[in-house]
Amino acid sequence: MTAAQCLLKNAGFDTGAANPSGTFDVGTTSATTRFQQDRGLAATGIVDSHTWTALLSTGDTPTLRVGSTGYAVTRLQRALTAALSRTVSADGQFGPLTEQAVRDYQTARSLGADGIVGPLTWTALQAGR
Protein backbone atom coordinates (compact mmCIF):
# COMPACT_ATOMS: atom_id res chain seq x y z
CA MET A 1 0.00 0.00 0.00
CA THR A 2 2.95 2.31 0.55
CA ALA A 3 3.67 2.22 -3.20
CA ALA A 4 0.10 3.26 -4.03
CA GLN A 5 0.29 6.11 -1.52
CA CYS A 6 3.58 7.34 -3.04
CA LEU A 7 2.17 7.11 -6.58
CA LEU A 8 -1.01 8.92 -5.58
CA LYS A 9 0.99 11.72 -3.97
CA ASN A 10 3.30 12.00 -7.00
CA ALA A 11 0.22 12.24 -9.23
CA GLY A 12 -1.05 15.16 -7.13
CA PHE A 13 -3.57 13.28 -4.99
CA ASP A 14 -2.60 13.82 -1.37
CA THR A 15 -3.55 11.10 1.09
CA GLY A 16 -3.40 13.58 3.98
CA ALA A 17 -0.42 11.93 5.66
CA ALA A 18 3.02 13.51 5.76
CA ASN A 19 4.59 10.15 4.91
CA PRO A 20 3.11 6.99 3.40
CA SER A 21 1.84 4.79 6.22
CA GLY A 22 1.27 1.57 4.30
CA THR A 23 -2.24 1.51 5.75
CA PHE A 24 -5.26 1.82 3.50
CA ASP A 25 -6.92 4.52 5.57
CA VAL A 26 -9.65 7.09 4.89
CA GLY A 27 -7.17 9.53 3.33
CA THR A 28 -5.86 6.87 0.96
CA THR A 29 -9.38 5.81 0.01
CA SER A 30 -10.31 9.44 -0.68
CA ALA A 31 -7.16 10.09 -2.75
CA THR A 32 -7.76 6.87 -4.70
CA THR A 33 -11.36 7.85 -5.42
CA ARG A 34 -10.34 11.32 -6.59
CA PHE A 35 -7.63 9.84 -8.83
CA GLN A 36 -10.11 7.37 -10.31
CA GLN A 37 -12.62 10.14 -11.00
CA ASP A 38 -9.89 12.22 -12.63
CA ARG A 39 -8.95 9.32 -14.92
CA GLY A 40 -12.52 8.32 -15.77
CA LEU A 41 -12.26 5.04 -13.86
CA ALA A 42 -14.96 3.53 -11.68
CA ALA A 43 -14.63 5.54 -8.46
CA THR A 44 -14.53 2.65 -6.00
CA GLY A 45 -11.69 3.83 -3.79
CA ILE A 46 -10.08 0.43 -4.33
CA VAL A 47 -6.71 0.13 -6.09
CA ASP A 48 -7.61 -2.49 -8.69
CA SER A 49 -5.62 -3.45 -11.81
CA HIS A 50 -7.02 -0.52 -13.81
CA THR A 51 -6.06 1.94 -11.09
CA TRP A 52 -2.59 0.37 -10.77
CA THR A 53 -2.11 0.66 -14.53
CA ALA A 54 -3.07 4.34 -14.49
CA LEU A 55 -0.96 5.09 -11.41
CA LEU A 56 2.12 3.28 -12.67
CA SER A 57 2.03 4.95 -16.09
CA THR A 58 1.49 8.49 -14.80
CA GLY A 59 4.16 10.91 -15.98
CA ASP A 60 5.72 12.09 -19.20
CA THR A 61 4.86 10.30 -22.43
CA PRO A 62 7.92 9.99 -24.64
CA THR A 63 7.79 7.76 -27.69
CA LEU A 64 9.38 4.44 -26.70
CA ARG A 65 10.55 1.61 -28.90
CA VAL A 66 13.15 -1.15 -29.01
CA GLY A 67 16.43 0.37 -27.86
CA SER A 68 14.85 2.96 -25.55
CA THR A 69 16.13 3.01 -21.98
CA GLY A 70 15.48 4.80 -18.72
CA TYR A 71 12.84 5.55 -16.17
CA ALA A 72 10.01 5.99 -18.70
CA VAL A 73 10.67 2.44 -19.91
CA THR A 74 10.56 1.18 -16.32
CA ARG A 75 7.22 2.97 -15.78
CA LEU A 76 5.94 1.40 -18.99
CA GLN A 77 7.06 -2.07 -17.94
CA ARG A 78 5.40 -1.75 -14.53
CA ALA A 79 2.18 -0.46 -16.09
CA LEU A 80 2.17 -3.33 -18.60
CA THR A 81 2.60 -5.80 -15.73
CA ALA A 82 -0.56 -4.40 -14.12
CA ALA A 83 -2.50 -4.11 -17.40
CA LEU A 84 -1.62 -7.56 -18.73
CA SER A 85 -1.69 -9.39 -15.39
CA ARG A 86 1.69 -10.93 -16.15
CA THR A 87 5.20 -9.95 -15.24
CA VAL A 88 7.07 -7.70 -17.63
CA SER A 89 10.62 -7.30 -16.35
CA ALA A 90 11.05 -3.71 -15.11
CA ASP A 91 14.70 -3.27 -16.04
CA GLY A 92 14.45 0.02 -17.94
CA GLN A 93 15.54 -1.66 -21.20
CA PHE A 94 13.05 -1.76 -24.08
CA GLY A 95 13.99 -5.07 -25.64
CA PRO A 96 12.11 -7.77 -27.54
CA LEU A 97 10.15 -9.00 -24.50
CA THR A 98 8.91 -5.50 -23.73
CA GLU A 99 8.08 -5.00 -27.40
CA GLN A 100 5.99 -8.19 -27.37
CA ALA A 101 4.21 -7.05 -24.21
CA VAL A 102 3.46 -3.71 -25.88
CA ARG A 103 2.12 -5.50 -28.97
CA ASP A 104 -0.05 -7.76 -26.78
CA TYR A 105 -1.40 -4.73 -24.91
CA GLN A 106 -2.05 -2.83 -28.13
CA THR A 107 -3.78 -5.81 -29.73
CA ALA A 108 -6.02 -6.39 -26.69
CA ARG A 109 -7.08 -2.73 -26.79
CA SER A 110 -7.40 -2.42 -30.60
CA LEU A 111 -4.65 0.21 -30.76
CA GLY A 112 -2.75 -1.01 -33.80
CA ALA A 113 0.01 -3.35 -32.67
CA ASP A 114 3.22 -1.73 -33.88
CA GLY A 115 5.20 -2.31 -30.66
CA ILE A 116 5.94 1.42 -30.36
CA VAL A 117 4.60 3.33 -27.38
CA GLY A 118 3.27 6.62 -28.68
CA PRO A 119 0.44 8.96 -27.66
CA LEU A 120 -2.41 6.44 -28.15
CA THR A 121 -0.74 3.74 -26.08
CA TRP A 122 0.24 6.16 -23.32
CA THR A 123 -3.29 7.57 -23.26
CA ALA A 124 -4.78 4.10 -22.87
CA LEU A 125 -2.31 3.17 -20.13
CA GLN A 126 -2.86 6.41 -18.24
CA ALA A 127 -6.61 5.86 -18.46
CA GLY A 128 -6.17 2.45 -16.83
CA ARG A 129 -7.32 0.52 -19.88
Distances (CA, A) of 18 to 14, 15, 21, 27, 47: 9, 8, 9, 11, 20
- Write out pLDDT tens, residues 3-32: 888 888 888 888 887 777 777 888 889 999
* Other Cβ atoms closer than 10 A to 37: 12
Tens of pLDDT, residue by residue over 42-86, are 999 999 999 999 999 999 999 999 999 999 999 999 999 999 999
For each of the domains in the chain, give its residue range(s) and CATH number, in order of start.
2-47 (no CATH), 56-126 (1.10.101.10)
> Are the C-beta atoms of residues 59 and 67 closer than 8 Å to each other?
no
Query: How many other CB atoms are found less than 10 A from the CB of residue 18?
Result: 6
Q: pLDDT at residue 118 above 90?
A: yes
